[in-house]
């Protein structure tokens, strides 16, 4: 296989993801409703309750809306990734996953390309959200919009790989409801998305440590610091490391040895 074959395949998978996204464009709008509700309603209510001291990367006191905006960016990617995993389980049950896996190109390449394709759609949604957040005075520096791009891509790869891994382990579409309870909610609430970690430490030290071990915390911090033009090597390092581990596990889950990729057991 030549480099051109890989390129055509890469473009083909990206194109298909965008075409599917265009077919389901109402999902794009509805996916924005959730974080916007948090930003406008939840944050307004909690602004008075939660005092935010000056913590890095912020140079001064900030509003609660400003604090949670990076966490909500992570939320968009988290929900999209799990939605992507759901669609992969759906694809597998319908058989279209086989079309992807039948390609003569290496499976790790196919799966990483698919992750990137899903990630690009998520990143697009995050930018639309950040533009709408300007209406409630969440105004990061202009260059922050560019600086945050690597963090958004890395986060979408990490969560996409997690979604892919989950998709390899879920036998049936019906089991997906459990993912909401056991993956999305704990990951989001036990992170720095909604409250600073020092605040969590004051409330409950063991919860604080769970938050510290939650890779989503570090993804959110990578987004937060980058958006405000600060470099957080720890957050980037942990997010990248977890991405690699999850991607390797997910790719291994799609080896032919794992009969689950066929969906139902053939006879």
Partner 1 sequence: MTIEASHISFRYGDTPVLKEVSFALTSGRFHALLGPNGAGKSTLFGLLTRLLALQQGELLLAGQSLKKQPSEAMRQIGVVFQQNALDLDLTVRQNLQYHAALHGLSRKEARYRGDRELERFELLARANEPVRKLNGGHRRRVEIARALLHEPTLLLLDEPTVGLDVASRRALNEHVRILCAEAGLTVLWATHLIEEVQQDDRVLILHQGQLLADGAGHDICEAEGTRDLAETFHTLTGAG
| Least distance to partner 1, CB of residue 83, Å | 15
**Residue 171 touches partner 1, criterion: CB under 8 A:** no
Give the one residue of 23, 26, 60, 181 binding partner 1; rule: CB under 8 A: 23
Q: Which of residues 219-258 bind partner 1 (CB under 8 A)?
A: 255-257
Of residues 13 and 43, the one with the C-beta less far from partner 1:
13
| Nearest CB to partner 1, comparing residues 9 and 43 | 9
Q: Is the Cβ of residue 54 or residue 267 nearer to partner 1 in the bound state? A: 267
Is position 4 an interface residue for partner 1 (rule: CB under 8 A)? yes
In the list 30, 53, 96, 172, the residue contacting partner 1 (rule: CB under 8 A) is: 96
| Contacts made by residues 253-259, CB under 8 angstroms, sequence distance 24+ | 253/164, 253/165, 253/168, 253/169, 254/101, 254/107, 254/111, 254/164, 254/168, 255/107, 258/168
CB of 91 to partner 1, least distance (A): 9
54-61, Cβ contacts within 8 angstroms, sequence gap of 24 or more: 55/196, 55/198, 56/225, 56/230, 57/224, 57/225, 57/228, 57/229, 57/230, 57/232, 58/228
CB of 255 to partner 1, least distance (A): 7
Give the total of residues touching partner 1 (CB under 8 A): 39
Our finding on whether 25 is near partner 1 (CB under 8 A) is no
Q: How far is the CB of 266 from partner 1 (least distance, A)?
A: 3
The residue range among 72-80, 98-106, 150-158, 240-248 that interacts with partner 1, by the rule CB under 8 A, is: 98-106
Out of 33, 48, 54, 99, the only residue in the binding site for partner 1 (CB under 8 A) is 99
Looking at residues 33 to 62 of the shown chain, list those that interact with partner 1 (rule: CB under 8 A): none
Residue 102 is a binding residue for partner 1 (CB under 8 A): yes
Q: Pick from 20, 34, 47, 199: which binds partner 1 (CB under 8 A)?
A: 20
Contacts to partner 1 by CB under 8 A:
1-2, 4-6, 8-9, 11-13, 15-16, 19-20, 23-24, 94-96, 98-106, 110, 255-257, 259, 261-263, 265-267
């Amino acid at each position: 296989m030549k480099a051109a074959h890989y390129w055509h395949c890469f473009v083909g998978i990206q194109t298909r993801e965008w075409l599917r996204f265009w077919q389901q464009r109402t999902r794009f709008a509805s996916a924005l409703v959730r974080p916007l509700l948090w930003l406008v309603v939840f944050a307004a209510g909690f602004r008075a309750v939660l005092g935010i001291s000056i913590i890095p990367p912020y140079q001064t006191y900030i509003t609660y809306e400003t604090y949670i905006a990076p966490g909500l960016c992570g939320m968009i990617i988290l929900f999209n990734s799990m939605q992507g995993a759901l669609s992969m389980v759906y694809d597998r049950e319908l058989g279209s996953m086989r079309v992807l896996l039948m390609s003569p190109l290496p499976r790790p390449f196919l799966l990483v390309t698919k992750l990137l394709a899903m990630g690009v759609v998520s990143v697009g949604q995050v930018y639309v959200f950040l533009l709408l957040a300007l209406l409630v005075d969440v105004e990061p520096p202009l260059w922050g919009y560019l600086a945050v791009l690597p963090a958004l891509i890395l986060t979408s790869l990490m969560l996409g790989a997690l979604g892919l891994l989950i998709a390899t382990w879920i036998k049936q579409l019906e089991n997906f409801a459990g993912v909401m309870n056991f993956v999305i909610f704990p990951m989001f609430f036990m992170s720095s998305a909604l409250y600073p970690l020092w605040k969590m430490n004051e409330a409950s030290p063991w919860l604080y440590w769970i938050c510290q071990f939650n890779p989503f915390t570090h993804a959110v911090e990578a987004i937060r610091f980058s958006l405000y033009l600060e470099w957080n090597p720890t957050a980037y390092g942990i997010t990248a490391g977890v991405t690699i581990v999850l991607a390797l596990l997910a790719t291994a889950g799609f080896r032919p040895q794992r009969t689950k990729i066929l969906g139902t057991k053939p006879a």
